[in-house]
Amino acid sequence: MRKKVLITGISGFVGSHLAEYALLKGAKVYGLKRWHLSKLRNIKQIVEKIELLDCDLTDPVGTFSVIKKIKPDWIFHLAAESFVSPSWDHPSHYMDVNYKGTVNILEALRQEKLQTKILLPGSGEEYGEVDKKDIPITDRTVLKPVNPYAVTKIAQDLIGYVYYKSYGINVIRTRAFNHEGPRRDNVFGISWYAYQIARIEKGLQKPIVRTGLRNDKRNFTHVKDLVNAYWLAIEKCIPGKLYLIGADEKNHIYTFDQALNMLIKMSTYKGKIKKVVDKKFVRPTSVPMLIGETKEFRKLTGWKPKIGFETILKDTLNYWRDFLDKDMY
């Protein structure tokens, strides 16, 4: 019997890739969309193969209604306000979406007495300022968040654990480190660099890439490897336990400046491209190093990344080249 898989945030970066993966696995795929938003470009290629339902997760009545209707076997709860920078100006909104939206789903599962598995994807941002001596990060590393977004993801994770302990809800808890690739919005570091380079190649802007600070170091995973990891997580991980996910090999660990330099070398632009730090892209606080140790997840699931960092960059740059060619806005 086909699994009924509900993906919140299905039209987003990770959600759209996961929907494609779920279809390949033979699942019946449901997705939630907000009725007042029409941007479905990330899923236009599969929109006839999935069932979309209107729902705003901050509305408990609407959330209960769709959960009751679908009665999903699995939920991948990917809907979130995930861009860090606006969270300082909109902390209550981020909490409404990321925390309260999660509570509404969990409450619906509790009230309907469903045995649904729900994956709650956390973020490496939750760890915040980690001392160099404490790298690599493990599931025992102390959380020291330095932005409102990270606080909301911690709250989401902990309320998931509460519903697991209190009511036996099958909550799969993960924290993923940086993941990149095609369809990532151009407000995030690598996508922002690639978007600007693609514009420079087309003569749409001067050969200057404007950035925030670029010395922060991360371990980077391709989005396609990540959705494979999420699928394995909901299949094999133990409810209530926390798992870290990411490509922690040395050839996946770079600073954002190194990533930008590699993107510039990939460019077809014949002249010199200048890098400039623009104050408006500098955040009030930064997270210098987020590098996780993921051996426990790998041992349990057999997962490992298959796509290298250069391919992550090429796929991202090519996506924005195609995007500009097709005028997809």
Handedness of CA 33, 103, 120, 71 (dihedral sign): negative
Look up the CATH number of the domain holding residue 212. Answer: 3.90.25.10
Same domain, 194 and 317: yes
Q: Which residues contact 161 (CB under 8 A, 6 or more apart)?
A: 171, 173, 240
Q: Are 189 and 227 in contact (CB under 8 A)?
A: no
Read off the pLDDT of residues 56-92 as tens digits, 9 standing for 90 and up.
Answer: 999 999 999 999 999 999 999 999 999 999 999 999 9
The model's confidence at residue 327, banded by pLDDT at 50, 70 and 90, is: low
Boundaries of domain holding 85: 4-179+220-245
Read off the pLDDT of residues 2-37 as tens digits, 9 standing for 90 and up.
Answer: 999 999 999 999 999 999 999 999 999 999 988 766
- Give the angle 31-308-275 at the CA atoms, nearest 5°: 95
Read off the pLDDT of residues 169-194 as tens digits, 9 standing for 90 and up.
Answer: 999 999 999 999 999 999 999 999 99
Does the pTM surpass 0.85? The reply is yes
Is residue 300, in this structure, part of any structural domain at all? no
Is residue 302, in this structure, part of any structural domain at all? no
Pick from 41, 25, 2, 242: nearest CA to 10: 41
Q: Compute the mean pLDDT over every residue in the chain, rounded to the nearest whole number.
A: 96
Longest dimension (CA), the chain: 62
Is residue 298, in this structure, part of any structural domain at all? no
pLDDT of residue 231 exceeding 60:
yes
DSSP conformation letters of 132-150: GGGPSB-TTSPPB--SHHH
